[in-house]
Structures are given as C-alpha cells and as structure tokens.
Amino acid sequence: MSTATLEPRVHAQRNYLNDDYGWKSWLFTLDHKRIALLYLVSITFFFVIGGSFAVLMRIHLVEPGGALVQPETYNKLFTLHGIVMIFFFLIPSIPAVLGNFLVPLMVGARDLAFPRLNLLSWYIYIVGGLFTLYSAIAGGVDTGWTFYTPYSSTYSNTQVTAVAIGVFITGFSSILTGLNFIVTIHKMRAPGLTWFRMPLFLWAMYATSIIMVLGTPVLAITIFLLALEHLFHVGIFSPALGGDPLLFQHLFWFYSHPAVYIMILPAMGVVSEIIACFARKRIFGYKIVAFSSVAIAVLGFLVWGHHMFVTGQSVYAGLIFSLLSFLVAIPSAIKVFNWTSTLYKGSISYEAPMLYALGFIGLFTMGGLTGLFLASLATDVHLNGTYFIVAHFHYIMVGGAVMGYLGGIHFWWPKISGRKYPNGWAALAAAIIFIGFNLTFFPQFILGYLGMPRRYAFYPAEFQVLNVMSSAGATVLGVGYLIPLVYLIWSMRYGPIAEPNPWGATGLEWKTSSPPPTENFAEIPVVTEEAYAYAPEEAAGD
C-alpha cells in the first residue's frame, strides 16, 4: 500500500480550493487542479453555446421548409455548432479537465512536468475561443467545420479568417497539453508505478497525447495555408490557379480523423476506471486493453482517406484506406469485449458513474458498428454526406465521448469538489440522456439511408416524420444535460462532505484527501501493487 499518510481531518483542512482566494489565485495559478477547473468552466461555457446552436437547428428542421431561420443562418448554425463542439468542447473535454486534474494524482506527482506551459495552454485556448466567439458575433462563418476548399478559401464571404485563426491558436493548446502529459507519464511516475501498474486512464491519456502531438501541427499548418489562400488567393487549393482542393482534404483529415480518437480514447480510459471500480474487479485483459489504446492511436492515423471515398480520390487509395479503416475497428471491438467480461463474476453496483459507463458501452458499440457501413466502399458511396454520417459520429462523439466525460465527472466529482451529489438525480439524468440521445440520433440513421443529405436547411417533405422524431428526442436530451448542471452546482455548496475514497476505488488519486491539498500528496506515495487491486488479499498480485 502507499505510504501516503492521511490525517482524519475532514472539513476545514487545507486543500487546493481553499489554499488561496481571489481571482488572481485562479488566473495565475500553476496548480494543475485549478487549471483543470478553469478548463471545466470554459468548456462548459462552450458546450452551452454549441448546444444552443444544436437546439436551434433541431427546432428549425421540424418543418421541411425550415421553421426558424434563413438558410444562410442555418449554415452558420451548423458550422459554429461543429467548430465549437469539436475544437472547444470535445477535444479539450476529458484531457484538459479530467486529464489535467488526474494525471499528476494518478502518477503520484505534485504537478505536471511543466505547470507554466499548462497555464499557458489554457490561455491559448481562451484566446482561440475569443477569436471564434468574435467570428460568431461578427457575422458568423458558413463553411462547415470541415472548411472545404475552394468554398472556404474563395467563395465564402463570412468570417473565415477569424475562425481559422481561432482554430489555429487552439491547436497549440492541445499540443502543449499532450506534450505535458507525455513527459509527466514518462518521467514523473511515483516509485514502483511501472508501466503495467498504471491505471488504464493513464494509458488512454498517453495514447491521446501521441495523437495531439503528432496530428495537431498538421491541422495548424493546413489552417494556416487556408487562411493564406483566403487572404491572398495564391492558388494552392484553388483549381482556377492550378491548385487541388483535394489536397486540403488530405491534410485536413490527417488530423481531423485522428481527432476523433482524441475524443474517444480518453472516454475509453474513463470507462475502464469506472467499470473496474463498480464491478470491484481488475479490468479483464488489462494489457490488451492498454495496448489497444496505443494501437488505435497509431492505426487511427492511417485511415483518413475514408472521408474521401466519393471525392474523386484514387480508387486504389480508397481501397487501402478502406482496409485500414476496418482494421482500426478491431482494437475497439476488443475493448468492448474486455469491458463486458470484466463484469463477469464481479460485484456490480449501480451508482451514477456506472450507469454512464454502461451507457457508453452500448452507444459506442452501435457507433462503432455503424462505422463499418462507412469503411465499406460500396455502402459508403450511398451513405457518405447523408444523415447516416451525422448519426454515426454523434453516437461516437456524444454517445461515446460525452457519456464518458459525464461518467468521469460524476466519478471524480467527490475528489474534485470534496462534495457528493444526489445519486438519485444523477441516475435519473443518466437515464434521460441515454433515452433522449437515442431518440435524437437513431432516426437519423434511417434518414441517411433514405438519402437525406446532411447540412440541408430545408428538405423534401417525405423526410419530415423522422426529422420531427429527432427534434423531439433533442428536447429530451437537452433537459437531460441541464439536470447535472443544476445538481452539480448545487452540490458544491449543499452536497454532503465526501470522504477521501467514497467509492472504495483503487488508484493513487483516492489515497489523498478530497479535495486534494495543493501539493497533492503529503509524501510521494510508493506503489507496491497492480492497478485495480480490488480482490481480497490472497488473490491480489501475481
């Protein structure tokens, strides 16, 4: 066991939250836990913005002719919804909030390797966010979050430059976070914490960081070239001057496909922690699950061309990308099987985090399997660019990443805030979100197969029934998201005080007090056992 000593102080003990007061103590903090909270507040803000765009879109689509706004406005809504949700919510969500908070605690360190870089990355994120908000206020942008040329570079007369700068800048925030995690995991593990004793969340964060570090710079340079093309019309992506618009798509997806794994891998890490804790079992096939994260990170870089099967890309390149896309499905499948097997002969309890984790498994399974339709060339030709795509990636990004994020927030909330939330409300919210999500997005699979293209501000009347169903589901989903927002804020003041380890979980973060002191551990812990040592003593270790 760890040597971290805990005095049984409960209430007025010194912790990272009451260590210092005033806005300066937050805005100039170098404490990874406080920076995590800065991120938590900012990404929640962007989630609300992106979410309200989604709500407006779903209301608009209740009528075939469009119920709410002009087509131009609708185009700006889905563009900003995509940009805000992807670059300013999903990509930083688990890494920058939970990762920032937990990586040093889990490795048994006092902070990340580079606390100043960490704070810098939050400021970079905020500056990027301000550019994006500015572009939204100053008329919006209507290129779609994919910025396809030559529409974005030559034909769109909206705020392309401002939003390109915003995304470009935010990319560096992501790079710095990834760099910090890699160095921390390599160099700052507590004595005895070998690679194969690490919690799977750390493995997931490590794999995610690899993608952030290797992929994001390519997005940055691509967006930079796009901005140059937009400002100067040098011709690099413009066919009128001999450029090739498909080159933009190659460079864009080189990052933006792996970016999907930046969103889903951390959620997988969270789910591994939760399942192990609430089944009181070591994750079935720990090493396989760990390696599959790395395999996904590496293979995920080789499949970007499946976004381009119908764009006039070479059919032979399409063939290779199709094959590799199928291969990346395998490690994901392995993870699902292993999580399911972890439940076998476990001792399962149904606290709210576990409900989110189980919901994740179900929705991710559907999202992953519907990905096969799109990796397969012949069916992708029909489904590409339709609502089937929209449904598929929302199952991965919302059903997967957001469920994982919410599960993680609920799991570690007692650690983060030192308070407990009402479990009944949390379980109810989890159920409403699960149902609302399926109501919203399942009809979209059918819509896509029937042929309704995405990004349509108005549509033929025959698609109305399914669109209305989807919009109805979205209201349920929206309510579902509001509930945790209310009771989590409520719990910060009125929730019962949380003990250091309310779930009886393993892992170094539970060995310190809740909330942890600024220096995390009174004494650097020494690790002497495997991760997830939930079993009785005689069976533990091997």
Partner 1 sequence: MIETEAQAQHAGLAHQFEDLEQQQDADALGIWIFLVTEIMFFGGLFAAYAIYRWLYFPAFQGGSHILDIRLGAANTIVLLASSLTMALAVRSAQAGHRRSLLLFLAATVILGGIFLGVKAVEYNQKFVEHVVPSLDWAPEGQTLARLTPGGLEHAQIYFFFYFAMTGLHALHMIIGVGLLLWLVLRARKGDFNPHYFAPVEVVGLYWHFVDIVWIFLFPLLYLIGGRY
Partner 2 sequence: MSQPIVSQKTYLLVFLGLVVLTILTTGVAFIDLGPFNTVAALAIAFTKMMLVILFFMGVRHSSGLVRIILVAGFFWLALLIAFTTADYRTRYWTSAPESWSTTAPPTHP
Partner 3 sequence: MQNLPFQPEQASSIARSVDQLYYFLTAITLFFTAVIFLVIFYFMIKYRRRSPDERPRAIEGSFPLEVLWTVIPTVIVALIFVWSSVLYFRNSEAPKGSMEIFVTGRQWMWKVEHPEGQREINELHVPLGRPVKLTMTSEDVIHDFFVPAFRVKKDVLPGRYTSLWFSATKVGTFHLFCAQYCGAFHAGMIGSIIVQQPEEYERWLAGGAPGESMEQAGAKVFQASGCPTCHLADGTGLGPSLLGLYGQPVKLTTGETVTADDAYMRESILLPKAKIVLGYSPIMPSFQGQMTEEQLNNVVAYLRALGKAQAKPKEAGKQ
Instruction: Output the smallest distance, CB 172 to partner 3, in A.
Output: 28
Binding site partner of 427, from partner 3, partner 2, partner 1, none, Cβ cut-off 5-8 A by kind = none
Which one of partner 2, partner 1, partner 3, none is in contact with 329 (Cβ closer than 5 to 8 A by kind)? partner 3
CB of 434 to partner 3, least distance (A): 12
Instruction: Kindly tell me which of 50 and 215 has the beta carbon lying closer to partner 1.
Output: 215
Return the one option of partner 2, partner 1, partner 3, none that residue 120 interacts with (CB less than 5 to 8 A, by type).
none
From the list partner 3, partner 2, partner 1, none, partner contacted by residue 502 (C-beta under 5 to 8 A by kind):
none
CB nearer to partner 3: give 34 or 306. 306
**Interface residues with partner 1 (CB under 8 A)?**
19, 30-31, 104, 109-115, 175, 179-180, 182-184, 186-188, 213-218, 220-222, 225, 228, 232-236, 241-244, 247, 250-251, 254, 518-519, 524
C-alpha to C-alpha distance for 352 and 434, rounded to whole angstroms: 12
Contacts of 401 (CB under 8 A, 6+ apart): 90, 93, 94, 263, 264, 266, 267
301 binds, among partner 3, partner 1, partner 2, none (CB under 5 to 8 A by kind): partner 2
To partner 3, the closest distance from the beta carbon of 94 in angstroms equals 23
Instruction: Please classify residue 196 by burial: count the beta carbons closer than 10 Å to its beta carbon, then call 0-12 exposed, 13-18 middle and 19+ buried.
Output: exposed
Binding partner of residue 161 among partner 3, partner 2, partner 1, none, CB cut-off 5 to 8 Å per kind? none
In the bound complex, what is the minimum distance in angstroms from residue 249's beta carbon to partner 2?
A: 10
Long-range interactions of 446-449: CB distance < 8 A, separation 24+: 447/386, 447/387, 447/388, 447/391, 448/383, 448/386, 448/387, 448/388, 448/389, 448/390, 448/391, 449/382, 449/383, 449/386, 449/388
Closest approach of Cβ 104 to partner 3, in Å?
A: 27
Instruction: Pick between residue 175 and residue 336 the one whose CB is nearest to partner 2.
Output: 175
Whether the Cβ atoms of residue 536 and residue 282 lie closer than 8 Å to each other: no
Distance between CA 339 and CA 357 in Å, rounded?
Answer: 10
Kindly state the smallest distance separating residue 355's Cβ from partner 3, in Å: 10
Measured CA to CA, the distance from residue 226 to residue 297 in angstroms comes to: 26
For 116, counting Cβ atoms within 10 Å of its Cβ (0-12 exposed, 13-18 middle, 19+ buried), the class is exposed
315-343 helix and 286-299 helix, angle to the nearest 10 degrees? 160
Give the span between the Cα atoms of 274 and 505, in whole angstroms: 9
Shortest distance, position 542 Cβ to partner 3, whole Å: 7
The three-state DSSP-derived secondary structure of 422-436 is: CHHHHHHHHHHHHHH
Given the complex with partner 1, which of 56 and 522 has the nearer CB atom?
A: 522
Q: Which is nearer to partner 2, 314 or 349 (CB)?
A: 314
How far apart, in whole angstroms, are the C-alpha atoms of residue 341 and residue 265?
19
Q: Which of partner 2, partner 3, partner 1, none does residue 293 bind to, with CB < 5 to 8 Å depending on kind?
A: none
Q: What is the DSSP letter of 307?
A: G
Count CB atoms within 10 A of the CB of residue 237.
28
DSSP 3-state of 36: helix
Minimum Å gap between C-beta 289 and partner 2 is 22
On the CB side of 5, CA atoms within 13 Å amount to 2
Q: For residue 57, what are the CA distances in angstroms to 75, 178, 473?
A: 9, 33, 13
Give the CA distances from residue 106 to residues 504, 520, 524, 538, in Å, rounded to whole numbers and listed in that order. Answer: 16, 10, 11, 25
Residue placing its CB nearer to partner 1 in the complex, 112 or 389: 112
Give the footprint of partner 2 on this chain (CB under 8 A). 186, 214, 218, 246-247, 250-251, 254, 301-302, 304-305, 308, 312-317, 320-321
Cα–Cα dist 119/116, whole Å? 5
Partner that binds at residue 519, options partner 1, partner 2, partner 3, none, CB closer than 5 to 8 Å by kind: partner 1
Q: Give the Cα separation of 78 and 73 in Å (integer).
A: 9
Q: How far is the CB of 159 from partner 1 (least distance, A)?
A: 21
Of the two residues 227 and 355, which places its CB atom closer to partner 3 in the complex?
A: 355
Cβ closest to partner 1, residue 48 vs residue 246: 246
Q: Which is nearer to partner 3, 124 or 283 (CB)?
A: 283
Q: Which does 320 bind (CB under 5 to 8 A by kind): partner 1, partner 2, partner 3, none?
A: partner 2
The span from the CA of 539 to the CA of 270, in Å, is 25
What is the closest distance, in whole angstroms, from the C-beta atom of residue 240 to partner 1 in the complex?
A: 9
**C-alpha atoms less than 13 angstroms from C-alpha of 309 in its C-beta half-sphere:** 22
Q: How far apart are CA 167 and CA 146, in angstroms?
A: 11
Picked from partner 3, partner 2, partner 1, none, the partner binding residue 349 (CB below 5 to 8 A depending on kind) is: partner 3
> Would you say 218 or 432 has its CB closer to partner 2?
218
Quick one: 51 or 104, whose CB is closer to partner 1?
104
Q: How far is the CB of 212 from partner 1 (least distance, A)?
A: 9
Q: Is 13 exposed, middle or buried (0-12, 13-18, 19+ CB in 10 A)?
A: middle
30 binds, options partner 3, partner 1, partner 2, none, Cβ within 5 to 8 A by partner type: partner 1
Distance from C-alpha of 476 to C-alpha of 482, rounded to nearest angstrom = 10
305 contact, one of partner 1, partner 2, partner 3, none, CB 5-8 Å limit per kind: partner 2
From partner 3, partner 2, partner 1, none, which one binds at residue 280 (CB under 5 to 8 Å depending on kind)?
partner 3
For partner 3, the closer of residues 1 and 319 by Cβ is 319
Nearest distance from residue 316's CB to partner 2, in Å? Answer: 4
Q: How far is the CB of 182 from partner 1 (least distance, A)?
A: 6
